[in-house]
Chains A and B, each alone.
Chain A
Amino acid sequence: MKAKSKGRWNIGIEVLMILLALLFLSPFYFLLANSVKSFGEILSNAASWPQEFMWSNYTNAWKLARFSEAFRNSLIVTIISVVLISLFSAMAAYRMVRANTRFNQILLLLFVAAMVVPFQTIMIPILKVVNILGVNNSFAGLIISNLGLSIPMAIFLFHGFIKSVPLEIEEAATVDGCNPISAFFRIVLPLLKPMLMTIIVLNALGIWNDYLLPSLILQAPGLRTIPLATFSFFGQYTKQWDMALPALTLGVAPIVIFYLFMQRYIVEGIAAGSVKG
C-alpha cells in the first residue's frame, strides 16, 4: 500500500520534472528553429517549426563573423591558460602542503582572501600592469591575467586534495633516487588526476566564456575570441535575426558539446569544490 503510493508520487514528480525540463530547454528551441528560417518567417512566426531550412544563414554568419578565426583564438587562449594554471597551482600547492612553513601558511591565507576580491575591484589597475609589461593587446597579456586571477582558487582546491595524498609513495621514490622535482612530476602529478580534471574543466569553461577581461585587453579585431566576435557581430547586425541567431548558435555549440562530453567531471568538480569551500 505504502510502496504503491510512493511509486505513484514518483511518477507524478517525473512527469512534472520533464515538463519543467522542456520549459528550461525552450530558449534553445527558439534559437535553433529560428536560426534556419528566412528573415520574413522569423518575423511572421517565431514559434513555428521552419518551413524551409535556410542553411545559408549559417555559411553567411560563419564568414561575416570571422568565426574560424575567433574559434582558433579562443582555443589558443583557453588551452595555454588552463595548462599553465593547472601546472603552476599543482606545483605550488604541493610544496605548500609538504613544507608547511610560516611563509607558506601566510601565503595560503592570502590566496583564500584574494578569492573574495571582485574582478571589478582590480580590473582597472590590471590594465595598467599589462601596459607596463608591454603585453597589452596580445594573447600573452590575456593569458598572464587569467593565470593571476585563477591561480588562487586552483591552489586552494589542490591544497585540500594533496593533504589526503599519502606521503609514503614519494618517500619510496626519494629512497630510489628521485629528486623532489622528478618525484613531483612522475609520482605526485599523476595521483592528482581527479582534482586536476576538475580544475581543467572549470577553468576551461570560465576562460572560454569570459567577455569582460578579453574585451579590455584584446583590441585588435584579429585577436577576437568567440564572446568578443559575437558581441561585435551582434552590434553590427542588431535585429537582423537571420544573421545574429546562426552566429549565436555557432558560439554556443562548442561549449555545449564540450559539456556533454565532460559533464561527469564538471558535476563531480563542482560537488568536490563546494565541499572544500
Chain B
Amino acid sequence: MRGSKLSQFGQQTFFVGPALLFFTLITIIPFLMGMYYSFTDWNGVSGNVSWVGADNFTAIFTNDPDFWSSFWFTVRFTVLGVVLTNIVGFFLAYFLTKPLKTRNMLRTIFFMPNVIGGLLLGFIWQFIFIKGFATMGDITGWSFFNLPWLGDATTGFWAIVMVFVWQSSGYLMVIYIASLSNVSKEVLEAAEIDGASRMQVLRSIIVPLIMPAVTIGLFLAISWSFKMFDLNLSLTKGGPFKSTESVAMNIYNEAFLNNRYGLGTAKALLFFLIVAIITVIQVRVTKSKEVEA
C-alpha cells in the first residue's frame, strides 16, 4: 500500500516535475516578482530596492504622457489590425476553398510571410518603403508611392498596419480554411436550391456557422497586435517622435533604456490587466454568437 502511494508520487514527479520546474522558474516566479517590483523604485542594477507603495502607478496615471500616447497608438493599431487581418484572412480562405487549379500553391504563398520573423520582415519593408516605393512612384507617377512612408506619424502608422496585414492574414486564412471546410455541403446546396444569392449564403449561413473560428481569429489578432514589438523596432524604431511606439516598446524602453525597472514592471502589470480584460470580454462576446450546426 505504502509502496504504491510512493510510486504514484514518483510517477508524478518524474512526468510532471520537469515541466512544472521550468514553468515555475520562468513564469510563476517572475510574475510574482513583477508584482513586488512594481511597488518599488528598483533600477535593475543596485541591490537597494525600496518600497514606494503605489507611487509608480500614480506616476503612470498622472505624469506619463508617453505611456498613454503609446497606449493610444496600440489601441488604434489593434482595432485596425484586428479588423483588416480577419477580413483579408477570411476572404482569402473563402476564395481558396473554391475548386481552383492553383489553390494549394496560392495557399502556400499567402501563408509565407508568416514564417519569417517580424524583425526581418520589418527590415525588408524598410527597404521597400524607402527605395522600392520611390522607384514605383517614378515609374507610375502615383502620388501614393511618394508619400513620406516612414517619416511621418500618419503614414508611419499606416505603413505598420500594411506590413502587419501582409504578415498575419495568411495565418488567419489557415484557420478560416479549416473552419470553412467543415461547413456542410448539404446546407449550402439547400440554400442554393431555395434561391439564396451568394451574399445571402455568406451572411446568413457561412458566417454564423464559422463563429468559433472568428472567436479564435479575433483572439489571436488582438494578442499579436497588443504585444507588437519586433515590427515597430525594425521598421520605424517607434519614430518619428515616438509616434509609432507600442506599449511593449514603451515598457522595454522604460526598463532597459531609462533603467527604471520598478516603473517598467508597474507598466507591465497594468498592461497584463488590460490585455486580460479585453481578451476575456472578446471571447465572451463572440462565444455568445456561436451557433450549433
Asked whether A209 lies within 8 Å of B268 as measured between CB atoms, the reply is no
Q: Is A88 an interface residue (CB 8 A)?
A: yes
Q: Is A129 an interface residue (CB 8 A)?
A: yes
Q: Is B111 an interface residue (CB 8 A)?
A: yes
Main SS of chain B's interface residues?
A: helix
What sequence of 0s and 1s flags, for each residue 182-220 of chain B, a beta carbon within 8 Å of any chain A beta carbon? 000000000000000000000000000000110010010
Asked whether A47 lies within 8 Å of B135 as measured between CB atoms, the reply is yes
Q: Is A220 an interface residue (CB 8 A)?
A: no
Q: Report the minimal beta-carbon distance from A174 to chain B, rounded to whole angstroms.
A: 12
Q: Report the minimal beta-carbon distance from A97 to chain B, rounded to whole angstroms.
A: 10
What sequence of 0s and 1s flags, for each residue 74-102 of chain B, a beta carbon within 8 Å of any chain A beta carbon? 00000000000000000010011011111
CA–CA, A210 and B37, complex, Å:
26
What sequence of 0s and 1s flags, for each residue 248-274 of chain A, a beta carbon within 8 Å of any chain B beta carbon? 100110011011100100110011001
Asked whether A27 lies within 8 Å of B125 as measured between CB atoms, the reply is yes
Q: Is B16 an interface residue (CB 8 A)?
A: yes
Q: Is A164 an interface residue (CB 8 A)?
A: no
Contact of A271 among B19, B106, B175, B268 (CB under 8 A): B175
Asked whether A149 lies within 8 Å of B27 as measured between CB atoms, the reply is yes
CA–CA, A189 and B55, complex, Å:
51
Closest A residue, CB atoms, query B24: A148
Chain A interface: which of B6-14, B60-68, B152-160? Answer: B6-14
CA–CA, A145 and B174, complex, Å:
29
Residue count of chain A within 8 Å CB distance of chain B? 87
Contact of B15 among A123, A184, A248, A258 (CB under 8 A): A184
Contact of A270 among B29, B118, B175 (CB under 8 A): B175
Chain B hits for A88, CB < 8 A: 18-19, 22
Within 8 A of B (CB), among A137-191: 144-145, 147-149, 151-152, 155, 180-181, 184
Chain A hits for B116, CB < 8 A: 209, 252, 255-256
Asked whether A271 lies within 8 Å of B174 as measured between CB atoms, the reply is yes
Known interface pairs A231-B234, A256-B116, A267-B174; A144-B248 also in contact (CB < 8 Å): no
Q: Is B33 an interface residue (CB 8 A)?
A: yes
Asked whether A230 lies within 8 Å of B33 as measured between CB atoms, the reply is no
Known interface pairs A47-B136, A125-B34, A151-B22; A209-B111 also in contact (CB < 8 Å): no
What sequence of 0s and 1s flags, for each residue 192-222 of chain A, a beta carbon within 8 Å of any chain B beta carbon? 0000000000000100111110001000000
Asked whether B230 lies within 8 Å of A124 as measured between CB atoms, the reply is no
Contact of A31 among B12, B124, B166, B265 (CB under 8 A): B124
Q: Is B285 an interface residue (CB 8 A)?
A: no
Q: Report the minimal beta-carbon distance from B24 to chain A, rounded to whole angstroms.
A: 8
CA–CA, A180 and B15, complex, Å:
10
Known interface pairs A227-B120, A256-B116, A267-B107; A129-B12 also in contact (CB < 8 Å): no
What sequence of 0s and 1s flags, for each residue 43-75 of chain A, a beta carbon within 8 Å of any chain B beta carbon? 101110000000000000000000000000000
Contact of A209 among B24, B117, B216 (CB under 8 A): B117
Asked whether A114 lies within 8 Å of B27 as measured between CB atoms, the reply is yes
Known interface pairs A13-B95, A18-B106, A274-B213; A92-B19 also in contact (CB < 8 Å): yes
Known interface pairs A17-B100, A148-B26; A263-B111 also in contact (CB < 8 Å): yes
Asked whether B96 lies within 8 Å of A241 as measured between CB atoms, the reply is no
Closest A residue, CB atoms, query B262: A124
Chain B hits for A95, CB < 8 A: 11-12, 15-16
Closest 5 CB pairs of A and B: A148-B26, A209-B117, A95-B15, A125-B30, A271-B178
What are 23 of the A-B contact pairs (CB < 8 Å)? A14-B100, A14-B101, A21-B105, A21-B106, A21-B109, A30-B127, A89-B19, A96-B16, A114-B28, A120-B229, A120-B268, A120-B271, A122-B27, A122-B268, A124-B44, A125-B33, A126-B26, A152-B27, A209-B118, A212-B229, A231-B234, A244-B127, A274-B213
